[in-house]
Amino acid sequence: MDHGSRETGRYVPRKHKKTLDAAKGFYGRRKNTIRAAKAAVDRSMQYAYRDRKNKKRTFRALWIQRINAAVREHGLTYSRFIDGLAKAGIEVDRRLLSELAIAEPAAFGALAAKAKAALPQA
């Protein structure tokens, strides 16, 4: 009578090895036993999928915060700056604007001036 694993079959050891390899570095029973490892690996894959989506949102928010901080030094708000760029016909993505604001403040200042000039004066 076998009291060992719950599954038997030709490819089961290979599947189990794949699961346990994916669980390397996990804490406690989750790295040793198939049932715990499978549950932990499945959950980690769900987190990975979710966080690949969240990463895009998080970085966009970071870029917007950086642009807003940099553009306020030039007397504009973020939304008026983006509106001014659109009216001036300048198409630059937020990632590049953020990097420009940090690495090339003079170039960013020139963009801010063009955006300001394209806005109607109130």
CATH number reported for the structural domain that contains residue 58 in this entry: 1.10.1900.20
Answer yes or no: do 32 and 18 share one domain.
Answer: yes
Which pLDDT belongs to residue 11? 93
Distance CA 31, CA 37 (A): 6
Question: Which has the closest alpha carbon to 85: 106, 73, 71, 104?
Answer: 71
Query: b/e for 10-47, b at 16 or more Cβ within 10 A?
Result: eeeeeeeeebbebbeebeeebeeebeebbebbeeeeee
Please give the structure tokens belonging to residue 46. Answer: 């769900």
pTM to 2 decimals? Answer: 0.80
Answer yes or no: do 45 and 22 share one domain.
Answer: yes
Domain span at residue 72 reads 54-118
On the question of pLDDT at 3 being above 70, the answer is no
On the question of pLDDT at 115 being above 60, the answer is yes
Which pLDDT belongs to residue 5? 60
User: How many structural domains compose the chain?
Assistant: 2
Question: Which has the closest alpha carbon to 77: 15, 119, 14, 16?
Answer: 119
Give a yes or no: residue 90 inside a domain.
Answer: yes
Give a yes or no: residue 99 inside a domain.
Answer: yes
pLDDT in tens, 35-88: 999 999 999 999 999 999 999 999 999 999 999 999 999 999 999 999 999 999
Which pLDDT belongs to residue 1? 52
